[in-house]
Amino acid sequence: MKMEKRRTQLMRADGRSSCELRPVHIHPHYMKHAEGSVLIEIGDTKVICTATVEEKVPSFMRGGGKGWITAEYGMLPRATEQRNVREASKGKVSGRTMEIQRLIGRALRSVVDLEQLGERTIWIDCDVIQADGGTRTASITGAYVALVLALARLVEEGKLEALPIRDFLAATSVGIDPEHGVILDLDYNEDARAKVDMNVVMTGAGQFVEIQGTGEEAVFSRAELDELLEAAQIGIEQLIAVQRRALGEWAARIGEKKRSGRGGHRVKEIVIATKNAGKVREFAALFAKRGVEVKSLLDFPDAPDVAETGSTFADNAVLKAEAASRRLKRPVIADDSGLVVDALGGRPGVHSARYAGEDKNDARNIAKLLRELDGVPMEQRTARFHCALAVAIPGRPTAVVEATCDGYIAEVPRGEGGFGYDPIFYLPEWGKTMAELAPEEKNQISHRAKALTKLDEQWEEIVGGKGRTE
């Protein structure tokens, strides 16, 4: 892929590759009084976003049974290198500020069920305390989390039955740099010299809410436009993963709907995001009783190759499932799993497959792990295999189920079966390592088997539109 090539070859002034975000941090509940608030940091750009609930709507909307979301945006005078006069002192709001406020408001409204919200207004305030490019896109990404937190409070207070939010929402910038070509997440200096710059707002389902693009110094082709949008999608997928972490358990309730009788979504075919025949057989056995046809990535040569950039197993599973579902326009299940060792602070974690290097060598991974645990007594060698399954269905919130298998790390490998870390994963209740178990025994207790059981138990709820994380 073009973007994959750029990601590995071209380095920018701050050391990033062309298709790499700046460091992103979202700090929830940042303000004491607001119903929802965050501080979002994207590189050196910092924005405080708050969401305030007002139990009324504008006069022109009264009696209509719908709510409203509106936004205000501003910058501190020294958010930039040179002090700017406060707009309040000027006595008027600039055209730029008005444009950004309207963008934030309509972007958020695009993913909110205003009827389910009821006749109340959510005021979004985005205050830039430090600007280094991308303030409007950071405001949208942060404001979304603040909005969800405010609505979550209404749910907790019993004023709403469910979050009136259909999907995730995030925004980022892309551009064409004279030296590096298409780049993601422009800082101030990059934005100033870009030949083309663009702001993109997308939902978690990969649908566009808004595209603002202009050729500052040059025209651009349809092929370049496609590449810009591809870069934006990569960035927005990663931003949504950060939003999920900031929202915690509420992330799983995005898209939750009030129950009104029976019904649901009939899934007739599902794609398992793997080329591993063994995994496909496991899912085929699960779905056979439901009459669901199971396919794999071997059936779709054009399926995307998604980089596992998440910091958790769930993040990676969601990235893979949503990317494949968008490309294939089909329901997709993706998994990510690995080993978590307590004495190593959770390592190898999401890096389990490549712990000793990029070539995915099981023997070297085991050797490295045992070296790091040398001298650690058995009672402190607690560990668990962790599996996360993500289910992405077009038009539905992505659901995640997770499960673990607990054990200890043995001092020496034992057993010839299994793969990965199985020879050193000791199960005291069996008196064996995972590699010493018969296949039918392993299938009773493995992390993947437990996750599949949870998936089976929650399937009707998932296809009915309610995402869950356990």
What is the spatial distance between Cα 298 and Cα 52, in angstroms, rounded to a whole number? 49
Do 396 and 283 reside in the same domain of the chain? yes
71 and 140 part of one domain: yes
Indicate whether 285 and 209 sit together in one domain: no
Are 83 and 223 in a shared domain? Answer: yes
Say yes or no: 306 and 231 in one domain: no
207 and 68, same structural domain? yes
Walk along the chain (470 residues) and give the pLDDT tens digit of each residue.
444 444 444 688 899 999 999 999 999 999 999 999 999 999 999 999 999 999 999 888 888 889 999 999 999 999 999 999 988 888 888 999 999 999 999 999 999 999 999 999 999 999 999 999 999 999 999 999 999 999 999 988 888 888 999 999 999 999 999 988 999 999 999 999 999 999 999 999 999 999 999 887 789 999 999 999 999 999 999 999 999 999 998 998 898 665 443 344 568 899 999 988 878 888 888 888 888 899 999 999 888 888 888 999 999 999 999 999 888 888 999 999 999 999 999 999 999 989 998 887 899 999 999 999 999 999 999 999 999 999 998 767 899 999 999 999 999 999 988 789 999 999 999 999 999 998 888 888 899 889 999 999 998 888 865 554 45
Domain check: are 305 and 174 in the same one? no
From 253, 277, 302, the end of a domain falls on: 253
**Is residue 197 in a domain?**
yes
Whether 144 is covered by a domain: the verdict is yes
Residues 336 and 428 in one domain: yes
Domain boundary pick from 223, 253, 283: 253
Q: Do residues 237 and 342 share a domain?
A: no
CA nearest neighbour of 146 among 251, 51, 68: 51
Q: Rounded CA gap, 314 and 335, in Å?
A: 8
What integer pLDDT is reported at residue 263 of this predicted model?
Answer: 42
CA terminus-to-terminus distance, the chain: 34
Domain end point (choices 226, 253, 280): 253
Domain-located, residue 240: yes
Domain contains 372: yes
Q: What is the CATH number of the domain that holds 284?
A: 3.90.950.10
136 located within any domain: yes
- Does residue 241 share a domain with residue 357? no
In the numeric block, which tokens belong to residue 291?
């009459």
The one-character DSSP state at 311 is S
What is the spatial distance between Cα 196 and Cα 175, in angstroms, rounded to a whole number?
5
Tally DSSP H helices, then E strands, for the chain. 12, 16
Identify whether 261 is part of a domain. no
3 state DSSP class of 378:
helix
- Residue 83 sits in a domain whose CATH number is 3.30.230.70
How does the average pLDDT of the chain come out, rounded?
90
Are 323 and 413 found together in one domain? yes
What's the domain range around 175? 2-253
Bridge pairing between strands 425-427 and 432-433: antiparallel
- CA angle, residues 240, 2, 222, in degrees to nearest 5: 90
Q: Are residues 153 and 275 in the same domain?
A: no
Pairwise CA distance, residues 168 & 148, whole Å: 10
Q: Is residue 297 part of a domain?
A: yes
The answer to whether residue 167 is domain-embedded is yes
- From CA 396, how far away is CA 49, in angstroms rounded? 27
When divided into structural domains, the chain yields a total of 2
The vertex-13 CA angle with 10 and 16, nearest 5°, equals 55
